[in-house]
């Protein structure tokens, strides 16, 4: 293996030693298998290829100062994959089987978990796909659950520094009452054009408005949005937003830090009143926003004048990272230690 420069890792794919797989066939889940190959043998009529029967998760493992490897909110990811499976009629993998597979694949690839204080982590990607051949539009009768891992650096190359995003009205990430609240690939495919156009304009992501009325803040690129005002943590509620496990964790931390928490529709105009704003998710953790440009309305909403994160974002970021790396006690039961 070529020597990995841990502190210079991008958020990309690096091959590791093993992945793990479980097949659903004849109405039941099989045994957990270990695989060294990076490819899947697929029938050309598999439902994942034609009808979008595919869901995935993303979580991370962190090596602490004590050398122990910690996985963050393993059970929440297992339950969210079940919700995605119900949303597109796939077989649900039991929570204990999900947890068994994650622990197995991290242990097998232990040498790829980046060292403490390198700024990197081990990204864990569980994937569930419809394998059964169908020509009619109906669910498969066979599924493959697979997990691979890869060491990653920051999702945004700037790291924990404020960056700009732009509001898009031309594109929707997901439809109301559609698949926006579940983690399926189609939502991300739908975001590719808007995301590419945003980056061409010098922005890190596109900020979506609600797909029904275009009046309220929705998702921020591949992440949830939150803002701070008057000691209050404010995040959108919508029937087309993916429930972020990071956002859920930050809301709990904010409450315990003495902030009020509000989950509600956020009108675009309210952006002008916020002291801080950020996007959050497993990959980005917290990505503070320097400003939001509303290109259609020729307006700019600024949140950082000095190029530094706001005090509340910084406090939340440091607290969450301290729990993930084991620098502070996990009083919430969020951490699973790999034995």
Catalytic residues: 183
Q: Which helix (H) or strand (E) holds 248?
A: helix 245-256
C-alpha neighbours within 13 Å on the C-beta side of residue 199: 9
Of 190, 192, 179, the closest CA to residue 90 belongs to: 179
E strand intervals along 202-295: 205-209, 217-220, 224-229, 232-235, 260-263, 276-281, 285-294
In Å, what is the CA distance from 51 to each residue of 48, 136, 184, 238? 6, 9, 12, 25
Q: Which residue has the tokens 């980005």?
A: 284
Beta-bridge partners for 267: 216
Q: CA-CA distance, 308 to 169, in Å (whole number)?
A: 28
Give DSSP secondary structure letters for 142-202: -EEEEEEEEEE--SSTT-SS-EEEEEESS--SS-TTTTTTS-BHHHHHHTHHHHHHHHHTT
Q: Spell out the residues 6+ positions from residue 200 whose beta carbon is closer than 8 angstroms to its own.
A: none
Of 272, 337, 322, the closest CA to residue 67 belongs to: 337
Q: Which residue has the tokens 């190359």?
A: 157
E strand intervals along the chain: 19-25, 28-29, 33-35, 54-56, 59-63, 69-72, 121-130, 143-152, 163-168, 205-209, 217-220, 224-229, 232-235, 260-263, 276-281, 285-294, 299-302, 335-337
């Amino acid at each position: 293996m070529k020597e990995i420069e841990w502190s210079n890792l991008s958020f990309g794919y690096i091959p590791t030693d093993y992945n793990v797989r479980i097949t659903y066939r004849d109405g039941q889940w099989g045994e957990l298998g270990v695989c060294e190959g990076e490819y899947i043998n697929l029938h050309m009529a598999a439902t994942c290829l034609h009808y979008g029967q595919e869901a995935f998760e993303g979580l991370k493992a962190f090596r602490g100062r004590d050398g122990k490897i910690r996985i963050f909110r393993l059970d929440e990811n297992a339950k969210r994959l079940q919700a995605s499976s119900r949303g597109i009629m796939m077989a649900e993998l039991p929570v204990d089987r999900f947890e068994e597979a994650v622990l197995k694949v991290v242990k097998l690839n232990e040498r790829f978990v980046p060292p403490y204080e390198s700024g990197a982590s081990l990204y864990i990607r569980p994937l569930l796909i419809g394998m059964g051949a169908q020509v009619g539009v109906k669910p498969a009768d066979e599924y493959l659950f697979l997990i691979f891992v890869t060491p990653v650096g920051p999702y945004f190359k700037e790291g924990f520094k404020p960056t700009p995003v732009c509001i898009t009205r031309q594109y929707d990430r997901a439809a109301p009452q559609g698949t926006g609240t579940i983690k399926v690939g189609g939502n991300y495919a739908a975001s590719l054009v808007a995301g590419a156009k945003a980056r061409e304009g010098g922005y890190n992501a596109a900020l979506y408005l609600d797909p029904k009325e275009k009046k309220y803040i929705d998702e921020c690129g591949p992440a949830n949005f939150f803002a701070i005002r008057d000691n209050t943590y404010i995040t959108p509620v919508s029937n087309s937003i993916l429930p972020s496990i990071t956002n859920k964790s930050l809301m709990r931390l904010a409450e315990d830090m003495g902030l009020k928490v509000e989950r509600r529709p956020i009108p675009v105009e309210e952006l002008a009143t916020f002291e801080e704003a950020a996007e959050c998710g497993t990959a980005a953790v917290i990505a503070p926003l320097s400003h939001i440009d509303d290109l259609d309305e020729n307006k700019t909403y600024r949140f950082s004048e000095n190029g530094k994160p706001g005090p509340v974002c910084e406090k939340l970021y440091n607290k969450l990272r301290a729990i993930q790396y084991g620098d502070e006690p996990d009083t919430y039961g969020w951490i699973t230690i790999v034995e």
